[in-house]
Amino acid sequence: MTPATLYAMLVIAIVFEVLGTSAMQAAQHFTRLVPTLVMIGCYAVAFYFLSYTLKVIPVGIAYAIWSGLGIVLISLVGVFVFGQKLDLPAILGLGLIIAGVLVLNLFSKSTFH
């Protein structure tokens, strides 16, 4: 697989992880069947695609990208979909997460390019 294909799979994993986490919010402690099933399905797809990236990308690096970007994206979903508020320290922290993912991808020799 090419690096572009593996990164595309990682992006798919991240998107489905964010969808699954959004569905978890809607599932209300597993009391709503459809959001609970959506959550389970999304997490299954997310882990399936994440597992493919681990063939080439080291697990720590892949997980850092997956979880870091997932945190940032689910925070944005929280703001725009669920009406949650982010204060300045939260925004700064999310910026640091993005910076960390960029450093990993642009400067680390642990990933592939």
pLDDT tens for residues 41-59?
Answer: 999 999 999 999 998 888 8
Whole-model pTM: value is: 0.86
- Angle, helix 33-53 to helix 59-80, in steps of 10 degrees: 150
Q: Is residue 113 over pLDDT 60?
A: no
pLDDT in tens, 81-108: 999 999 999 999 999 999 999 998 888 8
Query: What is the residue range of 18's domain?
Result: 3-107
Q: How many domains does the chain have?
A: 1
pLDDT in tens, 58-78: 888 888 999 999 999 999 999
Residue 113 falls inside a structural domain: no
Residue 75 falls inside a structural domain: yes
Residue 97 falls inside a structural domain: yes
Residue 112 falls inside a structural domain: no
Q: Is residue 22 over pLDDT 60?
A: yes
Residue 10 falls inside a structural domain: yes
The answer to whether 48 and 22 have CB atoms below 8 angstroms apart is no
